[in-house]
Structure 1
């Protein structure tokens, strides 16, 4: 009896010790390695099974950010899995790398079953963080910490550490974590900030692209993906995705599928919070008068589909948020001039740091940067950070360009008042990478192909540029997986895709969005296999045909220069392999700043009179309407002194549709400086008034103003001059003019 009791007690103690170990942080840390290994193993297996050529240890270790030794351990587990399920083993060939020889039937079966075989059982620290946050923000649950400890299978000390981490994180967003008697643990603070926290955490911890693809299929998800999908509801996401594509495609707006998934994620959070009666009371960062077009239609369709009765403030909030992912040439943001200044300055900065003459292809580069920065500024106002799944690869593959862009971050942060994320730096780098690739490429093409990419239009363009630069492949179009039907309508012979798709009408090759050495080997083998598809394309200019086409356009237009005739002429030049340098045909500041539009040493009692007086010069010449002056003043009243763009210098402006008849500029210096409320650049001593008709025609004027902002000595001289003639000499003059001015002053 005594022996039996001792054995029973020993067994009970052993069981208790085992349970304590299972609940300990040490065990969770151990299991964290297993969890990450399984998820990584799954992705490595998918990568190897998706290609038909050899992959090197070096490329795979870089791609998955692991050592070659760790990779060999992963391959041991993969081969064990393959053997247990009657698949061939991965072979290793000296000097070539790794390869998995599968029939098409085996490949499809393997890719379909991987998710069902490899699962996760334990919560790591990041997974616990996400689980805690989602439980706390759910008003239908009462978060009791000891119950969460049991649910997550961790000790009290581990959960205390998790909560400390959560409190520090939300504190950065001015949110506090409090415990209430009946409600349990809850978040207290501004609703917009709580949504921003949810979006940021889910974006960083959940594979958004995989999550969106899994909405249509039944696969076993990792813990973060499962938590994210449970919170957002798969059916809701799927419905939103379909509505988004339908509305934008009906309005002939190209869907950026990287941003689309993030928009759908943001909408999923918004819908749930609104239905839980957690609403934004007031929102004033958006002009309700501009809420029209496809985004408004999309929001209306969402409200109708889910029977949402939302206040105007919520419509303003979600419309502004979605617009920030779909910036137009001249969107609703009052930041459009700021975005232009930053885009021009960024190009000059990166060109100076890298020595690459980006200004030779500035039109395409500027347009991409301007649109992205416009969205970036808008997202910053709503505390939304775009997620870039390729940021690490971009950083590694384009180190010099990434570092150059990163060195410019302070100028952007000065306007956003927030830290510029590495994701955004990666996006901006892609635009420069694409431009650099086009700059180096040869002009003759031997293949015609199409690129399919769901990582975003800019990444697709980068892949297209690299294919043309290194392999003489002329990319006719960059499409998404939702546009497969367009391939048959294009004059192409090859298809390059960053995602596995079922398409058999033309030869197809799956690649990484940013090419690695293994991809280049695959491409060479692919082109050799399809060498019969090679074309010889001559880029020699047929001057006679060009002259005939131009004469035909002149006859059709009757000698009148209109917007339509100009566009047709531009298209004709492009069809003859000629590039129009729009920078050279855009007017400079001296072309549009008349002497009659220069006012010197004026007295103004406040900033409103300063704007009004400088603008009246343009009003007298019918360059602007009275409404434009009103709009400029209202804009500063609503958004603050953002028009003070440099030390002592203000650039008064509003949107073109606010009352601009034609391009114009005026300038005024002040006898006594005026404060606008800008702590960094006040007081204002000189003010330019800009009337822009579109997003591009005034860009050389903007460059002149940037030069002036960066030249404090010239600015001080301008403020001091007494007559318009001297003002012009200082503004546009050379060192000789400066000498003459000092000599006779």
Structure 2
């Protein structure tokens, strides 16, 4: 199969009108006989996979059955292998292979990767050498070892960047310069946060360039390839580069040097930037309202939903639009009315507690907005309920292994599922009903003997409800056993069991030991897709080290308490002076909603009010003060929060609120003698949530 054949398949899948051999001949500038040969190749694929073949009618009209589009299910990696690369593409892929080989690579190995003969690579070798020489790189050969590329590491990376940024790159080229999905998401988050902190917002093109470079850098570092010594020069992007690499190295588990910082700073210096529009400045306030609402809903429904991070995040995002001046256009949802009708108790609880949201809204909240709030609650209830029953599940996905793994991570996070197999959609008809209770698929299935439910790969709240409804139906109709005894242990479950054991054996080394154990356990369980997607959101103990904690602070008023809680952040450069005044004005204007729990307040202000980078500072007052928060007064602990975007602080904030529900946690904070003791207590209790 060649590139033209693949293009014809794609075209025949996407168009509905009649097309002739003559049409394709003119479009691809080849003879009609060549097109007929391409159609013969396509029919071979259709026949091998049990699909109806293309027919040719009078005038060369191409007639295909409605099932023709199913051919896409069979166009996987094998088509990349079968696809015949052009000479320029072979040269590019071979060059990338040479650079990405730490030692030597043989001509035969390159030929195998490109699915061509060794003689073809020999014929291409001159062009490969010239191609690399243009980037100051030389191909050296060794009689008994093969070929390798010599040159500066910086030139190798720039070459890979150039190839990665080429338009119309072949998939095989992209594959050999690929960034791991988890690392890519992490790097995106790092760049995004540092843009806000340094108030330097990259254009889309420059953002992609820096993302590609950092992905290449991580891959090269993991291979043991490091930058050569650079001439150290000062430029205004050095600190930004330093901050980016600090977090990339931490979360992608690599080591970086001053040379890496210097090189990245030069790339940032040469990048293009845009002026960032002012951002919605009520984000943290909305998140606090969300916490209050979830707490009241949990109380009324008699089910604790405070520990569902997805619920907190999704509802926060929804309320952000609800509290805007102009109501957005909400899409009609087929499942919305059905869910609301079946969950009247949830609807009633939402309406009873809607006052928490209404008091901050400047307009009437529309019925459909309230309906979506109820859907978020129902999805959280489904996740809670269905963790209690284990089902054997097959995942069917048509979009590749990366998408399958993302879907599996999300399913296992909220359902007590045992994933027994991962299949392509066309394999569903072969799944044994004795080995699986249900198939969760990203596309509709044909001829499946097993019940299935269709979801999106990102698993929305509506998808959670669909899965939950399917499980309920299966449980009721088939009386399925829970199989709870067969449930495999998870990384979180194992860490929860190990944590108290480690603490009892070596309390003085607990922190260091658990850090190492956590990394090993999570690596063993291959928690990369979902875990890396969220890893850059710092935990509470990251934001509250001993230097950000002060004990027995003296003050007379809540205004003084707010100022004193913010003072270290001001001194360390996390906030500007105006941020402190804005926090006090916020409480004066909106009341003491910042008091989250009896005796504990989290003053803050919105984005663009003087926050520079994400951070927290906690003070324990020697004499508690009144914030005017009724039953939550007096306040003994004040934790100043500086937020720079919607999400970076969210994990820490979520964990803090959940920890405050634990009376032992607060009591432990009260009896601590030093800031170091408080930091250890925070880390210890936070790990019970992870």
TM-score higher than 0.5 here? no
TM-score normalized by structure 1? 0.34
TM-score normalized by structure 2? 0.37
Q: Which has the higher contact order (CA 8 A, sep 6+)?
A: 2
